[in-house]
Amino acid sequence: MKNPQGAAVEAAVVRGAGWTIAAGISARILGLAVSVATTHFVDPQAVGEVGAAAVMVLLANQLSSLGVGPYVLSRTNVRYARDFAAHVFHVGTGIVALGIVTASAGPLTNLCHAPHAASFVAAMAAVVMIDRIGYVPERVVLKHLRFRVVALARAAGEVTNSVVTFALALMGYGGWSIIGGNVVRSVTRVGLFLWAVDKRAWLTSRRPSFNELREIVRFGVPAWLGSVSEFAATRTDNLAMSYLYGPRVMAEYQVAYNLADVPADQIGEQVAEALLPSFARMSLDERKRALVASAGLLSFVVFPMAIGLGAVAPTLIHVVLRPAWFSVAPMLTVLCVLSIMRPLTWQLNSYFYANQRPRIATTCSVVKVTVLMLLMLTAGRRGVMWACLSVGTGYVAALTIGYYSVWRDDGISPVSILRRTGAALAACIPMVIAVVGARHVAAGAGLRAGGILAWEIGTGIIGFGFGARMFARSLLDELVNAIRATLGEPGKLS
């Protein structure tokens, strides 16, 4: 029987995920619209150079994080002074790491065959340093399940980023328009998190003790290895693409990946981030049930968005991008189909961290990036599509190891999870058939690209509705109940 505390936590995570998803998608739609519009004013070469600089700086950021985020989120009962110690540690290591990458900008960008990217490295380092100042305060707010505050702060940052980036692009600032938008986004987000966190209980005037720092490192290093590997799996592929095919192709790949990543990033990651502090407040039995249940709901929401986006990709790209970017379409189709794996790996990581087993999450992430990069630098040389296919293979390998671990250590049968995710996948089959059929019908009717896209989306929605009722009726009912819980009164946590 479920205890009242567990029920309240589960209700809180449903509402929290609802808030973060709703705000995130709203901001993401605006961001994507502005990003697409910006491609009409910024050359792909400049976009690729800024992207290469960003990956290098963000890699230095990840290498110096040492698992501070999972440490703060998973310690629901520690004193605030430990959170402040984590903040001081995180900012200090960031200053060192970002200083090193800025000083080494020239050799690093030459190595990736993008020498002009060096001029953007210092500016990106400043942006990331601002983000580090607000990183632990954001986790403190999340730890207390204040999801609405987090959602609104993130959305405000994305909106300001979109407005400033587009305005600067219109004024002809090229790649610097992307830098300017990121600066304003970071300042907005960090300012809101610093305002929202309880400063009287959190900020202290004393220096962190050696024992506090040792505890952070002891827990954080395994989590850090996992986060670095996770980052490498999602960002260093850009550098590999630049190394293999140059910054222009990397820019096209980056646009395709960012579009494909919308369902995973704006739904899967938001749910996973809400799950970690919520899992930490549950009993082990409740976590097991929540892992299986959330896998099904997550798949039912993410799969149709990801697969549907891949299905309409050929038409979508011809509608929203100019001809110089049309080669994005086949990349988007491949990456959308493969991106369905990402949310499930994030969900597993949240479960492992809540159970104080960060080493398992780290193992999965290391395997993922190893398989991905090996295939990308070998099979990826055969062509861009082979490089895109390499991305999903790494996620499949990580997910396989994760499910084996929960079966071996916790007795959770992978079949119980695959049965639910398989139902969500089966529901997408009629959708894909409907989209492809609609495209062939529209091609003979002489419709313009915009009309064809609307026709494909409409028939795809109908196709998924049919598939959901045929193959995933129980998941559909659960989703409706979850939405009702989101709109209900907040559960009271003791």
Q: What is the pLDDT of residues 176-224, one digit of tens each?
A: 988 999 999 999 989 988 888 877 656 665 566 677 667 777 766 766 7
State the Cα–Cα distance between residues 158 and 265, nearest whole angstrom.
14
CB-hemisphere CA count at 13 Å for 206? 8
State the Cα–Cα distance between residues 362 and 353, nearest whole angstrom.
10
pLDDT of residue 65: 79
pLDDT of residue 483: 67
In a domain, 38, yes or no: yes
Range of the domain at 129: 4-487
In a domain, 379, yes or no: yes
In a domain, 492, yes or no: no
Q: What is the pLDDT of residues 14-52, one digit of tens each?
A: 555 555 555 555 566 666 666 666 766 777 778 888 888
State the Cα–Cα distance between residues 39 and 424, nearest whole angstrom.
34
In a domain, 357, yes or no: yes
pLDDT, mean of residues 367-387: 89
In a domain, 493, yes or no: no
Residue 111 or residue 158, greater confidence: 158
pLDDT, mean of residues 67-84: 65
Q: How many domains does the chain have?
A: 1
In a domain, 494, yes or no: no
pLDDT, mean of residues 293-319: 88
pLDDT at 362 over 70: yes
Report yes or no: 272 and 402 within 8 Å, Cβ to Cβ. Answer: no
State the Cα–Cα distance between residues 122 and 128, nearest whole angstrom.
10
